[in-house]
Amino acid sequence: MAKSSTTFTCSACASSYTKWSGRCDGCGEWNTIVEDKGLSKSGPSGKSLGARRGSTVQLTDLATKEAPPPRTRSGIDELDRVLGGGLVPASAILVGGDPGIGKSTLLLQGAAQFARSGLKTIYVSGEEASAQVRMRAQRLGLTDAPVQLASETNLRDILTTLENEKPQLVIIDSIQTMWSDTVDSAPGSVSQVRSAAHELTTFAKRNGMSVILVGHVTKEGQIAGPRVVEHMVDTVLYFEGERGHQFRILRAVKNRFGPADEIGVFEMTGSGLAEVTNPSALFLSERGTPSAGSVVFAGVEGTRPVLVELQALVAPSPHSQPRRSVVGWDGSRLAMILAVLESRCGIPFAGLDVYLNVAGGMKISEPAADLAVAAALLSAREDAPLPEGAVVFGEISLSGALRPGPQTENRLKEAQKLGFTAAIAPSGGKPIEVTGMSLRQMGDLTQFVGDIFGAG
């Protein structure tokens, strides 16, 4: 008896199995393993793939002289920065974000600007009627933009329209509402999202068309659907922000045509999203007189230095298990900083509630924020503010040693531009001098605690 060629594949991480299982061992997801017919059998005849030869594929080498495709700039500098300098022809972009954060507003503004730049643009909405999109465009003052609108969810009809119209840019809002009649499942399911994303991406690459897909996110903050969709596209962008703040951050987490981790900062206004050319000044605009627990961190997001305020509060805990609450930073990294302070510097936080917040709704992920977090915690615990006009940055190791972060000179120049006169940073690296800035360098955390707070 011939062995069956049926295999089972995880729709989240593409791991293959010989039999079905409820949980994928590769990514740990449940109910993502589906039956997948292998390529060893190509049809009812049972002939192997090798017996049914196809056409040859044209090969080229690295020495082939081809001019790189020109990028198209939208005129929205923050959007162009995150894209790596503009829109690359035949590229696929995935944009995710929380509901109501402003994804559709951002992309409608971007579509209008790209259309004004000369790109034939089609905006396909699966969530709104064309009249509703026009109402939003009227509120944003974009009614004069030559953008073609469509309201449809059938993928076959959308691809037929795109093949006839031959646009240079198409925006799909959103990929979770698209459905393919070749897949027997409901719209928004894993198989439908994967099939629709694959068809649209393949169509865009084959026809030299750029496609922007809007993706919903789960409650964990990840784009809903299989992770394989993020592998299909060229660029993955996340639109972030707190509902209580007017700031919105467009962050690149994957970009084949530019730097990853680049950010663009916008401000939500009554007439849409406005660019923020100097985010450091905006994030520090509401900062008053320096107080205990308040520290300015000189960070770097992508290629841009950004100054943000870190706020800490340390208070006696009425509970047997003290609280550790973090907004805008990694909670596990806070636990590590507290452990290093207690083990290496002899400063305990047992019996104390610790609260840490990144002002302005910003989210920080770089390790260079360690020293600023430690300074904010110590300042709040000792009720002693840091020297006025000082910024702090540096990474803390488990041994208590301080490590310098990248782009130290750019951090100092950004701080000096905003009126800061002093910086506290780890020692090491090449000597750096910035006019108007005094730099205090520390070798380890114990020296930092002793010099700044007189203890340790």
CA 39-43-47 angle, to 5 degrees, is 75
Query: What is the Cα 330 distance to its own chain's centre?
Result: 15
Distance of alpha carbon 117 from alpha carbon 184, whole angstroms: 40
CB count within 10 Å of CB 185 equals 14
- Give me the sign of the Cα torsion angle 386, 390, 393, 394: negative
For residue 214, which of 96, 357, 322 has the smallest C-alpha distance? 96
**Helices marked H in 233-387 — which ranges?**
279-283, 331-345, 370-382
> Known binder of ligand: residue 100?
yes
Unique residue bearing structure tokens 């039999």: 19
> CA 370 → CA 12, 263, 445, distances in Å?
33, 21, 11
Unique residue bearing structure tokens 């993955």: 236
> Known binder of ligand: residue 293?
no
Q: Which regions of 220-347 does DSSP assign to beta strands (E)? A: 235-240, 247-255, 263-269, 272-275, 294-301, 304-316, 324-327
**Helices marked H in 330-407 — which ranges?**
331-345, 370-382
**Strands 390-392 and 294-301, bridge-based pairing:** parallel
Distance of alpha carbon 407 from alpha carbon 414, whole angstroms: 11
Query: Residues near 294 by Cβ (< 8 Å), separated by ≥ 6?
Result: 287, 309, 310, 311, 312, 376, 379, 385, 386
> Known binder of ligand: residue 102?
yes
> Known binder of ligand: residue 104?
yes
> Known binder of ligand: residue 436?
no
Distance of alpha carbon 440 from alpha carbon 450, whole angstroms: 13
> Known binder of ligand: residue 259?
no
Question: Which residues belong to the annotated binding site for ATP?
Answer: 97-104
Question: Which residues belong to the annotated binding site?
Answer: 97-104
